[in-house]
A and B are shown apart, each in its own frame.
Chain A
Amino acid sequence: MAVAGETVAAPAPPRTRLLGAERVNLVYWALVLVPLVVLVVFYIYPLSRVLLISVTEPRLGFGNYVRIVESTGVRRVIWTTTWICLVTSTLSLVLGYLLAYAILHMRSGWQTWMMVGVLLSFWVSILIRAFAWITLLQTRGLVNNFLLDAGLISQPLALIRNELGVIIGMVHYMVPYAALPLLASMRSIDARLVPAARGLGARPLQGFLYVYLPLSLPGIIAASILVLIFSLGFFVTPALLGGGRVIMLAEYIALQVNETLAWGLGTALASSMLITVFLMLVVLARAVSFRRLFGAA
Chain B
Amino acid sequence: MHHPPERPSAAQAATPTATGHSLSVRGATKLYDGVAALDNVSLEIRRGSFLTLLGPSGSGKTTLLMTIAGFTRPDSGRLLVDDRDVTDLEPEKRNFGMVFQGYALFPHLTVARNVAFPLRIRGRSRSEIRERVQWALDLVQLGHLAGRYPRQLSGGQQQRVALARALVFEPEVLLLDEPLSALDKTLRADLQWELKDLHRRLGMTFIYVTHDQEEALSMSDEIVIIRNGRVVQKGAPLELYELPQTRFVAGFLGKSNFLSGTVRRDPAGRAMLTAGSVSIHLPDGPSHEGDKVLLAVRPEKIAVAARPPADGRNAVRGALVDWNYYGSTTHCRLDTAFGLFHAQFGTWGSQIDLARGRDMWLVWPKEAGVVVVDDG
List residues of chain A with CB under 8 Å of any chain B CB. Answer: 190, 192-193, 195-203, 206-207, 210-211, 214-215, 217, 293-297
Shortest distance from the beta carbon of B50 to any chain A beta carbon, whole Å = 20
Q: Which of B64-109 contact A (CB under 8 A)?
A: 69-71, 90-92, 95-98, 100, 102, 104-108
B37-73 interface with A by 8 A CB criterion:
69-71
Chain A's nearest CB lies how many Å from the CB of B114? Answer: 9
Q: In the bound complex, do residue B108 and residue A214 qualify as a contact, i.e. CB atoms below 8 Å apart?
A: yes
Produce 1/0 per residue, B283-297, CB < 8 A to A.
Answer: 000000000000000
Q: Is the CB of A294 within 8 A of B91?
A: no
Flag if A193 contacts B91 (CB, 8 Å): no
Question: B108's contact among A196, A199, A294, A296, by CB below 8 Å, is which?
Answer: A294
Identify the 4 closest CB pairs spanning chains A and B, nearest first.
A297-B151, A196-B104, A294-B107, A200-B118
Interface residues of B in 287-323 (CB under 8 A from A): none
A212→B149 CA distance, assembly (Å): 17
* A203, B90: Cα distance in complex, Å: 9
Task: Indicate if the CB atoms of A200 and B71 lie closer than 8 Å.
Answer: no
In the complex the two chains form, is B166's CB within 8 Å of A195's CB? Answer: no
Interface contact A190-B92, CB-CB below 8 Å? no
Q: Are A193 and B106 in contact (CB under 8 A)?
A: yes
Give the shortest distance, in Å, between A294 (CB) and chain B (any CB).
4
A/B pair count, beta carbons within 8 Å: 76
A245 to B136, CA, bound (A): 65
Structural contact, A199 and B98, CB atoms closer than 8 A: yes
**Once the chains bind, are B92 and A203 in contact (CB under 8 Å)?**
yes
Chain B residues with Cβ below 8 Å from A214 are 108
Q: Quick check: B106 and A198 within 8 Å, CB to CB?
A: no
| 22 pairs from A and B in contact (CB 8 Å cutoff) | A190-B107, A192-B100, A193-B104, A195-B71, A196-B100, A197-B106, A198-B71, A199-B69, A200-B97, A200-B118, A200-B169, A202-B121, A203-B92, A207-B92, A210-B120, A214-B108, A215-B108, A294-B108, A294-B151, A297-B105, A297-B150, A297-B151
**Given the complex of chains A and B, what is the CA–CA distance between A294 and B108 in angstroms?**
6
| Distance in angstroms between the alpha carbons of A203 and B89 in the assembled complex | 12
User: How many residues of B are in contact with the other chain, CB < 8 A?
Assistant: 28
Contact B104 A294 (CB under 8 A): no
Given contacts A196-B104, A293-B149, 20 further A-B contacts (CB under 8 A): A190-B104, A192-B104, A196-B98, A197-B106, A198-B92, A199-B69, A199-B91, A199-B92, A200-B118, A200-B121, A200-B166, A200-B169, A201-B92, A201-B118, A201-B121, A201-B169, A202-B117, A211-B106, A215-B106, A296-B151
Q: Is B165 an interface residue (CB 8 A)?
A: yes
Q: Would you call B122 an interface residue if the criterion is a C-beta within 8 Å of the partner chain's C-beta atoms? A: yes
| Contacts A190-B104, A199-B92; A210 near B117 (Cβ below 8 A) | yes
A192-B100, A192-B104 are contacts. A198–B91 as well, Cβ < 8 Å?
A: yes
Determine the distance from Cα of A214 to Cα of B109 in the docked complex, in whole angstroms: 10
Evaluate contact between B107 and A297: CB separation under 8 angstroms.
yes
**Residues in B whose Cβ lies below 8 Å from that of A196:** 98, 100, 104, 106
Q: Which residue of A lies closest to B153 (CB)?
A: A297
**Which residues of chain A come closer than 8 Å to B151, judged between CB atoms?**
294, 296-297
Q: Are A195 and B91 in contact (CB under 8 A)?
A: yes
Distance, CA A192 to CA B101, complexed state (A):
9
Task: State how many angstroms separate the Cβ of A89 from the closest Cβ of chain B.
Answer: 24
Residues of chain B within 8 A (CB-CB) of A217 are: 108
- Determine the distance from Cα of A190 to Cα of B104 in the docked complex, in whole angstroms: 8
Contacts of B108 in A (CB 8 A): 211, 214-215, 217, 294
Which of A197, A215, A295, A296 has the most C-beta atoms of chain B within 10 angstroms of its own C-beta? Answer: A197
Report whether B92 and A202 are in contact in the complex, using a CB–CB cutoff of 8 Å.
yes
Per-residue CB proximity of B346-376 to A under 8 Å, as 1/0? Answer: 0000000000000000000000000000000
| Structural contact, A199 and B71, CB atoms closer than 8 A | yes
